[in-house]
Amino acid sequence: MVEVRVLPRGLLVDWGGVLTSGLEPALRRWAELDDFDFDSYLEAVLKWLPSESTAEVELNPVHALERGQIAVPDFERKLASILVRRDGTPVPAEGLIERMFAHFEHQPAMSALVRRANERGIKTALLSNSWGNTYPRDTWDGMFDDIVISGEVGLRKPEPEIFLLAARRLNLEPSECVFIDDLQLNVDGARAVGMTAILHTEYDETRRALETLFGADLT
């Protein structure tokens, strides 16, 4: 008996590091312009990432911000309070998130790839963890059938519920979805709920993987 391969029908795409340039170069540029040591930023944030607990909102400002549980100005003050410029002065809190995300560069080839997938009848959605930052929504015409942003839905990757929500909003089962992210933790989270997931590193590799999975020419 010949086994018939069932093709996926949905494509879920991360924003930062997939539709934009990589996270680390952009954040290093922010640290350079705000004149503090980048490694001190990493050390500070890692201290905020304990295991999940009942007091996680208090313990973990990053996760709370991503879920929309704390306001951006409050987070900015928390982060600024643990960053020190090289001259010993504090990093300004106001506008910190905007400065942090100012150096992410749009990746037009990846955006065009998502548009071509949508044009070929593949349902598409953005699935992004937000740090209260703004998104270039005016550039997304023809890209997405739905948009799932963590701070707007009160969930964050890699929590299983946010993957299930994104699939449900496309009227698909998780097994019918392919997810692209630049972080292995989120790729593992998608796979745990039954999705096919791709760790994005560069355009051509991701395009070829999608063409194989969807059985479609996406060039």
pLDDT of residue 1: 57
Q: Which residue from 138, 139, 124 is spatially nearest to 177, judged by alpha carbons?
A: 124
pTM given for the model: 0.90
pLDDT of residue 3: 54
CATH architecture of 10-22+105-214: 3-Layer(aba) Sandwich (3.40)
pLDDT of residue 43: 84
Distances from the Cα of 208 to the Cαs of 47, 113, 138, 169, in angstroms? Answer: 38, 11, 28, 26
Q: How many helices (H) and strands (E) does the chain have?
A: 11, 5
Q: In the chain, what are the domain boundaries?
A: 10-22+105-214, 24-100
Distances from the Cα of 85 to the Cαs of 28, 38, 166, 213, in angstroms? Answer: 14, 10, 40, 47
Mean per-residue pLDDT pooled into runs of 10, the chain (219 residues): 73 97 92 92 78 54 93 94 90 94 94 97 97 90 95 96 98 98 97 98 97 96
Cα distance between residue 19 and residue 56, in whole Å: 30
Place of tokens 């506008």: 95
| Neighbour tally for 53: CB within 10 Å | 10
pLDDT of residue 45: 81
pLDDT of residue 57: 46
Q: Quick one: CA torsion of 14, 18, 20, 26, rounded to 10 degrees?
A: 100
